[in-house]
Every structure is written in C-alpha cells, then in structure tokens.
Structure 1
Amino acid sequence: MSETTTGRAAAPAAPAPAAPAGPLRVRVRERIQETPDAVSLVLDAELTYRPGQFLTLRIPGGGARCYSLASSPHTGEPMRITVKRVPGGLGSGWVCDTVAEGDELEVLPPAGTFTPGPDGLDGDLLLVAGGSGITPVLSLAKSALAAGRGRIALLYANRDPASVIFRDELDGLAARHPDRLTVVHWLESLRGLPTAARLGGLVAPYADREAWLCGPGPLMDAAETALRSAGAAGARIRRERYFSLGADVFAPAATPTDAPPGAGVDAVAVVQLDGETRTAPWPRRATLLDALLAAGVEAPYSCREGACAACCCRVVEGEVTMVRNEVLDGEDLADGYVLACQAFPLTDRVGVTYG
C-alpha cells in the first residue's frame, strides 16, 4: 500500500470548502500507539475539513506524505491523523519512530475528495476498509453517526487481531449505536484473503447503498466486483486512490518554460473564492494555480500533480486545457470541472469558481 492517499476516482459533487493556501504549522498534542505498526498524532489545530480528507506533511530531508484524518469534524474531537508503518517508508518511518508529543509539524490545509457532499451523511452506507484504509472510513462512520440519520455497515479486513487499528473505538461506536452501526471483521489468519467470491455474501445485502472503499488495491477490486455482481450501480461505489508524490509540494512551483500544445495567449482569470471575486493575470506558460498564488489568491491545492483534486474548480467562462488528469471523469469534465494545478488558458479571459 502506498504511504499517500488522496481522493476518490471522481470529483465530488461540489469541491471541499476552500482553506488557506500554503503551509501551516501545527503542534502534536498527543501521540497514541494504536498497534505495534500504527501511530496516531492528535493535533492542536482548528482547520475546516470534511470527513475522509487528509493532511499533507512535510518530511525531513525534503518531500511530503499525505495521511488521512481519522477524526470527524462533526464530533468536536481534535484533529487526528493515523500512520501505519510501511517497510522502508521514509514518511511512515519518521512518524512512527521520531515524532513526539509537543513537536511541530508543517502541513498543507486539509484536502481530498474521498468525502461526501453536504447531504451525503443521511443515507445508508456500506464502508469497506483494509489495514490503514480504516482511517478515512472511521472519519466517515463517526460523521454519519453524529450528523446523519442512516444505517452503516462496516467491513474491516486485517491480517490478524494484532493489526486491527481502532478496535476499541469501533467496539464503542457499535455499542452506542446498535441499531445503526454493524461492524464485521475479516481476519486473513482465520478466513484467508478476502476475494470477490468470499465477500459476495457479506456485501450483497448492502448492494443498494452508497459504498466507500479504502485499502489495498486487491481488496477494493474484490469488494467492487462483489458489489457489481450483486447489482450495485458503479456510480455509487467510491474508491480511495493511492499514489506517491513525485515532488516536494512545499517548494515553490517553477514556471513552465513551454506552454502545452494548444495553449492560447496570456489571459486574465476571474475567480470566485470564499464569496469574493478576484481578477488575476494568467501568463500562458503558467498553470491557473500558479497564476492565482502569484496574484495573492489563496487557492486550495495539495499534490500539484493532477492526482488528488484538492485544487478542483469549475470553469464558468472561457476555455482551458489540462496537461494531466488522474482524478476527473468524463462527467466531471463535461460539467466544467478542472484541476487548477494542470490548467492552461485557451481563451484570453477565463472565469472559474471554487465551491
């Protein structure tokens, strides 16, 4: 499993609330050893975020890693990220071996699209997690129980009992919400690998629910296959995507020396963000994100690689071209959504809106 996690395969119905752009410093209030291989960091930070989002941490020596928030913005609890050690992992090794209570971390604002829209917590949900994939799933479950009305079924796969993260917290949630939360543990030491055939009987009763999958790729593949075989609609299956950041997203972005094929002349960007309208010059060889940041517009972003959708916005006037897109699907593009970190102007005036 990759150390970094971002958004689901498709953009959300509406982008997450915009947060201040650029690095922030937060203090570690508490360090919790969840399992021999997993550590939670409770943070002194009051940042706006949605269930299922992540924080991007600066790693000593350069580079960054993204870790999902296990806390819920609907419960009043402090922000908490949870990190599971990856063999040879630079980021996870640093967190698990070095970060201590009282340390300060440099982070980017919460981001990611593995999160429901404003009305997405009221329906019945099926949550499927494996290993450290429980982190954003726990955030979704706690949020739905606190702020929603639906029923939740959670299937959680691990190697053995010692690797189950948040066991006591999950047991407590199930005890407090016996009519709304059902938790099923799948232990490979007892039941073998969770294949599509083996999961079929467990997920079939919930095939009509919106499903959220997070964990190793083979587990998500098996769960999705089982759900589709049971008649689940593909549009109601959300998957968390895993990737590794290829660059230091905390470093200032370099202006491209060559515009992509088809890019137009220098443009003007008219941006609606946080209830304000701003106008910024947009050089042909700069991405929309870089143009906005250079003009002092605090546009949200995270990976800067077209893979997380944290910078997702909607074009409402003019046209753009993108050089990379690993997140938005055809429907999103048809609705005008673009990734600001990958967008270049095609017209001399482009209007975009966040949220």
Structure 2
Amino acid sequence: MGSNVTESVQLRVVDIIEETSDAKSFVFEASSALVYKPGQFLTIEVPSDSEAGGTARCYSLSSAPHESDLLKITVKRVRDGYGSNWMCDNVKVGHTLKALPPSGLFTTRQASSDLLLFAGGSGITPVLSIAKSALATGTGDVVLFYANRNDASVIFASELSELAAKHPDRFVTIHWLESVQGIPTVTQLKNVVRHFSSYDAYVCGPAPFMAAALTALDQLGLPRERKHHERFVSLEGNPFEIEAVTTEHDLSETAKEGSASTTSPSAVPSFRVSGKIGDVSFDHDDWPADQVLLDFLLNKKLAAPFSCRAGECSSCMYQVVEGSVKMLKNDVLDDEDLNDGLRLACQSLPETEAIEISYEF
C-alpha cells in the first residue's frame, strides 16, 4: 500500500505579535478558506532533523471566527519543548507552514449561554477565542478566572481590558497571580466562582490547574454536561504522514496483538454500524473487524471529525449508544468519559454484531 499525507493546508505568516517575553502570536493567511469554531486548534507540521518529514504540534486558535478570515495561534515557550521553541525562534513573516484544518471538541454548544471560563497560563488561548465569540454573537454573561505566575506572564492583558471596556455589563476577568496569592486551591477556586455555578464551564491550562478547577466545579454541583475541558497531549506520531485510508484492511502491530482477525480480507467478519454525523444519517453492515471506525467512515465518504489519528488528541471522539467496541489505544479519555460511552474513532474496532454511535453528546 502506498503512503499519502492527510489533507493539509498551507498557512502564510502575515504578522507576528510579541505577547509576552515568552509567548508569540502568529497570524496566518490560509491557502484555502477554513471554517472553524471558537476553541478549536490547528495541527502544525514542525521540521525536525531527527524525524523524516518532521513532527507535529497542536496549537489553539486565539482568533475568533467572526473577526476576519485570518487565523491566529498563540505559542508560549516550554522549557525543553521542541515545537514551541522552534516556532518562536525560527518562524518569520512571509514563511509558509503546513497545517491540518481546524479541529477539536473544546467548543461552546449554545451562543446564548452564560459562561464560566478557567484559564491557566497559555490555556487562555482557546478560552479567549470562546470569550470573544460569545460576547460578539451571544447574549450571555462571560466570567473568566485567569491564573498566571505574575503580572509579566499575563498573555492578552490589553485585549482582555478592551473586552471588559466594550462589554462592561457582560464580561469580567478575575486575575489570580501565583506571585501574590499562591497556586489556587480547590477551596479557593470554589469560593471565588460559587456565584456562577449555574453557568456552563470551560477549563484549559496545566493538568494540576485543570484538575483543581474541575474538582471545584464538581463540589459546586455542576452536572457533567456543563463541564468542558481541553484534552491536549503531545503527539508522538506525525499525522501528515499517515498512510492513506484504503479498503485493504491492513492491521497495525497493536491490532494483531489483540482480537482482530489476521486472515484474508474475504474471511474477515463484518459488523453493522449506524448513527449520524452532522445532518447525515448512515447504516452500514460491512464494517470489517480489522478496520478502525474512522477509516471505515472516511471510506464511506462520511465527514467524520479527526486530527492526529493516533489516539492522542480526542478530535475523533464519539459516543457508543448501543453495542460495544474495543479501543487499541487511549491517551486522552478518563474513566468518567469511558463510563459515558465515549470512544476514539481512530482506535475503535467492533466487538458486537450491531453498534449505534453518536457524535452529538
């Protein structure tokens, strides 16, 4: 089987903004029109001497869809972080980068909802996109809890002040500085935001910060459907070099070690899968036992969402309504997700005769 790259776009850098001493925003003009939702991210190809074809990193969009056709990501240097340091040290205006189209599930469900946003450090990037979009297109209030090390590390300080001045009755930022108040605890977070416990909550930042915020929300009684958090992990593979989807059902070594069949394609059992993606309903009875769900759906010309195709980013997440599947790998879904029937399409093999799935959850 030949190889191919996942469908990609070219991004030309038209501006670079120094946000802080260790964070930059990169403004892009895309080679083709891109549609995205506030809170989504771009997967950028980063050249690497040690890996043929480079590697990939996910960077959230800090721009909002209503602003313009230009796209903006914001990158904060991470100590020993190859991708972030390469971006900040090497990318110049006029350069062109390869990217996958916007993806991700960390997006708002209803524009009119009141929002309680938690951001820690560079976690402000998708949160700012959500806040700007909600204020411009919705009617609800927006409360932002924004934690940083100190004053100098606050990304988008001026933009947040401008938003507050423009929407004085709808938007407020609660700044929290570790240099002054220490690292926020669950109790402190709960006390600060308890008056907004009826809002829809969105959380993004370092893992300990997100864990504390989500625990505080749990203790305030927020139901699961009103709590949302970003699910980033560093990509191990390069989605730009994923082999082309094919009707030949080649097995990965991981699948071979599991229960999937290794016999000839004609002997591979098939399963039934039904559901809906967007406005399109489907019902197929020929899902091969040795082909992951994402590849099967794409072969059927269905617009199933995806990005990394390696079980590392959650963009292909869906819910099993009936039946069961086996996942080959899972780096992002927690026990609560799994108990709710959430699975990754790029890692799912069928286990029961008939399976019903949903992308609306």
Range of TM-score over shorter length = 0.7 to 0.9
Conserved? CA contact 1:288–1:344, under 8 Å: yes
Question: Is residue 10 of structure 2 the alignment partner of residue 25 of structure 1?
Answer: yes
Conserved? CA contact 1:266–1:348, under 8 Å: no
Q: What is the alpha-carbon root mean square deviation over aligned residues?
A: 3.2
Partner of 1:57: 44
Percent identical pairs in the alignment equals: 48
Distance 1:347 1:200 in 2: 43
| 1:104 paired residue among 96, 100, 123 | 96
Conserved? CA contact 1:31–1:39, under 8 Å: yes
Distance 1:280 1:30 in 2: 50
Partner of 1:13: none
**How far did residue 332 of structure 1 move?**
6.8
What TM-score results when the alignment is normalised by the length of structure 2? 0.80
Say if 1:288 and 1:230 are closer, same or farther in 2 by CA, change over 3 A: closer
Say if 1:267 and 1:28 are closer, same or farther in 2 by CA, change over 3 A: farther
Conserved? CA contact 1:256–1:286, under 8 Å: no
What TM-score results when the alignment is normalised by the length of structure 1? 0.81
- Helix, strand or coil at the partner of 1:241: coil
Say if 1:203 and 1:335 are closer, same or farther in 2 by CA, change over 3 A: closer
Name stretches of at least 5 consecutive residues in structure 2 with no aligned partner. Answer: 1-5, 49-53, 244-249, 262-267
**How far did residue 260 of structure 1 move?**
6.0
Distance 2:208 2:334 in 1: 22
Say if 1:319 and 1:194 are closer, same or farther in 2 by CA, change over 3 A: closer
Conserved? CA contact 2:305–2:316, under 8 Å: yes
Q: Identify the range of structure 1 (321-330 vs 272-281) with the bigger mean alpha-carbon deviation.
A: 272-281
- Helix, strand or coil at the partner of 1:102: coil
Q: Identify the range of structure 1 (177-186 vs 335-344) with the bigger mean alpha-carbon deviation.
A: 335-344
Say if 1:220 and 1:330 are closer, same or farther in 2 by CA, change over 3 A: closer
Question: Is residue 245 of structure 2 the alignment partner of residue 245 of structure 1?
Answer: no
**How far did residue 78 of structure 1 move?**
2.2
Name stretches of at least 5 consecutive residues in structure 1 with no aligned partner. Answer: 1-20
- Helix, strand or coil at the partner of 2:44: strand
| 1:301 paired residue among 301, 306, 312 | 306
Distance 2:305 2:224 in 1: 29
Per-residue CA deviations over 1:4-46 (Å, capped at 9, x if unaligned) read: xxxxxxxxxxxxxxxxx62221211211111110111111133
Say if 1:33 and 1:255 are closer, same or farther in 2 by CA, change over 3 A: farther
1:1-355 matched pairs, under 5 angstroms: 22-45=7-30, 46-61=33-48, 62-76=54-68, 78-117=70-109, 119=110, 121-253=111-243, 255-257=251-253, 258-259=255-256, 261-263=258-260, 265-267=268-270, 283-293=288-298, 299-313=304-318, 320-327=325-332, 338-346=343-351
Distance 1:101 1:324 in 2: 39
Say if 1:316 and 1:201 are closer, same or farther in 2 by CA, change over 3 A: closer
Per-residue CA deviations over 1:288-324 (Å, capped at 9, x if unaligned) read: 3334556776643212232323223466897643223
Say if 1:24 and 1:350 are closer, same or farther in 2 by CA, change over 3 A: farther
**How far did residue 106 of structure 1 move?**
0.8
- Helix, strand or coil at the partner of 2:230: strand
Counterpart residue identity of residue 48, structure 1: V
**How far did residue 81 of structure 1 move?**
0.6
Conserved? CA contact 2:14–2:29, under 8 Å: yes
Q: Which has the higher contact order (CA 8 A, sep 6+)?
A: 1
Distance 2:223 2:324 in 1: 32
